[in-house]
Amino acid sequence: MKSTPKAVNLTKDIPYVARSCHTNPSISCGDCRLGELCLPIALDASEILQLDEIVKRGRALNKGDFLYREGEEFKAIFAIRSGSFKTFKTTHEGVEQVTGLFLPGEIMGMDGIASNKHSGSAVALETGSFCEIPFHLLEALSAHIPSLQGRFFRLMGQEIVKDQQMLTLVSSNAAEERVASLLLSISKRNHRRKLSPSHFRLPMTRAEIGSYLGVTLETVSRIFSRLQKQNVVKVDNKEIQLLDIDALKLIAKVHND
Amino acid sequence: MKSTPKAVNLTKDIPYVARSCHTNPSISCGDCRLGELCLPIALDASEILQLDEIVKRGRALNKGDFLYREGEEFKAIFAIRSGSFKTFKTTHEGVEQVTGLFLPGEIMGMDGIASNKHSGSAVALETGSFCEIPFHLLEALSAHIPSLQGRFFRLMGQEIVKDQQMLTLVSSNAAEERVASLLLSISKRNHRRKLSPSHFRLPMTRAEIGSYLGVTLETVSRIFSRLQKQNVVKVDNKEIQLLDIDALKLIAKVHND
DNA sequence: CGATAAGTTGAACTGGCTCAAGTCATGTGG
DNA sequence: CCACATGACTTGAGCCAGTTCAACTTATCG
């Protein structure tokens, strides 16, 4: 079940032991196995060392802990090391609107760059850990390392494309397509992280999934039931198995990749 | 292949004449009255001169002309000087999904940064003009001018926030709220450009508006009629007058700004 | 001036929502 | 470690906002 440790103060107290990157808070960017997904792509060894200097290895977070809050001053971006996180905004009526799901190797917090205030909040969906990169230091370092500047431009560009895909998904597709697309998206991201693309835990509640996809939680539940009946997926609470990925792609109306 | 071969070589051939910025293809960034909305914000005079060096003043475009096409190699970002543009993707079924509306002073094309290919297309909604900024030159210049790098980070951050707002709007609000929000958004952007916030031309067709907002064109039409009946707006085809902005904000459920 | 695209309005239909009742999972305090 | 409380999930039934289809009017432009 919980693969992440309860002990928290590993950071400086324990001697270096080669454990898997995402559970060991003291590992460096150069050794992190998420490096090829994360910020350091496109950097050479010496550049990674410089990046390492400004990265703060974060403490472990528990489910429900905030990484930052809507309206709070923007200070840093966050790279997920383990666990999963959601971002959301709270509407005028006090309803939570989920805007993103983040998995290890992905970067959060770029919503604060424009105005120096976070435009949404970020919380842990389960026990997890992260690296914190103070933005002013990242900016300064980027000005000295062109490939880091380029990498960060690209990272922000990715976020833009991702958000636009989400917009397209939500504004033009039926509920079933949205659910199928979300499952395929997680599958693909797991695959890149060398995890099973067909068996995973979906860390959000039905209500969160619904909010993210612009449908009600009941609709999400019904669609899971229906897809299960069709033998496309097997759903056991949050545990998801994709039994027929091609069928799922057909439902999601994805014809490529 | 470019669909826009018309008159192209204005850039260097005609003598400098002091015409209003957005119709004069040869004016420089320093003199452009859109400067305070556009890229140059946060740059000092000498930095603006350097930026000027890499900016290509674009030719005029007619309605329907493409700025770039989905899948095309990403070479440059575009700053709108006059007119208006939409961005869109074409779905597997061949349906056009509008993803953005761009007005003078706004920047287009950042969807190509991540992968070096444009993830969507951009076309002129009416006669218009633009500046083209080759991205590799912008990147190189940014590495030398920290304030330009910062400016561009912020600009991309704005795009991220804007897309997320759109996502929230489309996935959680009723059709009427979406239409009201779009009108208020245009109003606000006109205001920043020192144009009338209450009387403007909405350059999209009902179908484009509907696609952008995730509803059908009939629904858009009906909502316009309804809002008109309530004396909130006056709609004469594409000509829009906001008669009661407070009522509109109430409908859009915007309680702040 | 005629053709074609854009916009309006009506009527019937439906996917997803709301409300409701119940089951199941998780975790906390006794 | 169990019991019970609370939150998460499922399923059903009725309803409604927005869609679909259709007929018509109004703009636009070669």
Say whether pLDDT at A22 is over 90: no
Q: How confident is the model at residue A17 (pLDDT cuts 50, 70, 90)?
A: very low
* Pair of tokens at residue B22: 């957005």
Looking at residues A123-145, what average pLDDT do you find? 95
Q: Report the pLDDT averaged over residues A41-54.
A: 91
Task: Summarize the confidence of residues A34-60 as an average pLDDT.
Answer: 89
Distances in whole angstroms, Cα of residue B115 to Cα of each of A159, A161, B48, B102: 12, 9, 28, 22
Q: What is the mean pLDDT of residues A134-156?
A: 96
- Residue numbers in chain B where pLDDT is lower than 70: 1-26, 255-257
* pLDDT at residue A57 is higher than 60: yes
Judge if the beta carbon of B239 is closer than 7 A to nucleic acid strand C. Answer: no
Residue A7 predicted with pLDDT over 50: no
Residue A146: Cβ within 10 Å count = 15
Report pLDDT for A25. 59
Q: If DSSP codes are grouped into helix, strand and coil, which group holds residue B236?
A: strand
Which bases of chain C are under 7 A from a protein CB atom?
Answer: 6-11, 15-20, 25-26
pLDDT of residue B246: 95
Which residues, other chains included, contact B166 with Cβ-Cβ below 8 Å and sequence gap of 6+?
A167
A219 touches strand C (CB under 7 A): yes
Percent with pLDDT over 90 in chain A: 76
Q: What number of other Cβ atoms are within 10 A of residue B256's Cβ?
A: 5
Q: Give Cβ neighbours of residue B217 (< 8 Å, ≥ 6 apart).
A: B205, B206, B207, B209, B210
- Those residues with Cβ within 8 angstroms of residue B184's Cβ, 6 or more apart along the chain or in another chain: B245, B248, B249, B252, B254
Hey, is the C-beta of B114 within 8 angstroms of any chain A C-beta? Answer: yes
Cα distance between the two ends of chain A: 32
pLDDT at A92 over 90: no
* Cβ pair B252, B223 in contact under 8 A: no
Of A9-18, A56-65, B45-54, B95-104, the one with minimum mean pLDDT is A9-18
- d(C-alpha B48, C-alpha A46), whole Å: 33
Query: Do residues A67 and A109 touch, judged by C-beta distance below 8 A?
Result: yes
Contact B115 A161 (CB under 8 A): yes
A221 touches strand C (CB under 7 A): no
D11 C1': nearest CA residue: A222
Task: Look up the protein residue whose alpha carbon has the minimum distance to the C1' of D27.
Answer: B237
CB A204 within 8 A of CB A86: yes
> Which window residues (198-217, chain B) lie with Cβ within 7 Å of strand C?
205-207, 217
Nearest nt (C1') from A219 Cα: C16
**Closest residue in B to A154 (Cα–Cα):** B114
> A180 — phi, psi (to 5°)?
-60, -40
Q: Would you state the pLDDT for residue B26? A: 65
The confidence score (pLDDT) of residue B33 equals 84
Per the model's pLDDT, the better-predicted residue between A184 and A40 turns out to be: A184
pLDDT digit string, tens, across residues A192-240: 999 999 999 999 999 999 999 999 999 999 999 999 999 999 999 999 9
The string of DSSP letters for chain A reads: ---S-S--THHHHSPP----GGG-TT--TTT-TTTTTSTTTT--HHHHHHHHHHPEEPPPB-TT-EEE-TTSBP-EEEEEEES-EEEEEE-TTS-EEEEEEE-TT-EE-GGGTTTSB-SSEEEESSSBEEEEEEHHHHHHHHHH-HHHHHHHHHHHHHHHHHHHHHHHHHHHS-HHHHHHHHHHHHHHHHHHTTS-SSEEE--S-HHHHHHHHTS-HHHHHHHHHHHHHTTSEEEETTEEEES-HHHHHHHHT----
Average pLDDT over residues A85-98: 93
pLDDT at site B159: 97
Looking at residue A8, its pLDDT comes to 36
Half-sphere exposure of B82 (CA within 13 A, CB side): 17
For residue B1, the 8-state DSSP code is: -
Residues 133 through 192 of chain A touching chain B, CB cutoff 8 Å = 139-140, 142-143, 146, 149-150, 152-161, 163-168, 170-172
Q: What is the pLDDT of residue A11?
A: 37
Distance in Å from C3's C1' to B238's CA comes to 22
Instruction: Confirm whether any atom of chain C, the nucleic acid strand, is less than 7 Å from CB of A218.
Output: yes
In chain A, what are the domains? 7-166 (2.60.120.10), 173-252 (1.10.10.10)
Contact A172 B213 (CB under 8 A): no
Please give the pLDDT value at position A4. 36
pLDDT score, position B30: 87
**pLDDT of the residue at B94:** 86
The order of strands in the sheet holding B233-236 is B199-201, B239-242, B233-236
pLDDT confidence of residue B255: 66
Would you call B167 and A99 a contact, using CB atoms and an 8 Å cutoff? yes
- Mean pLDDT score, A112-117: 97
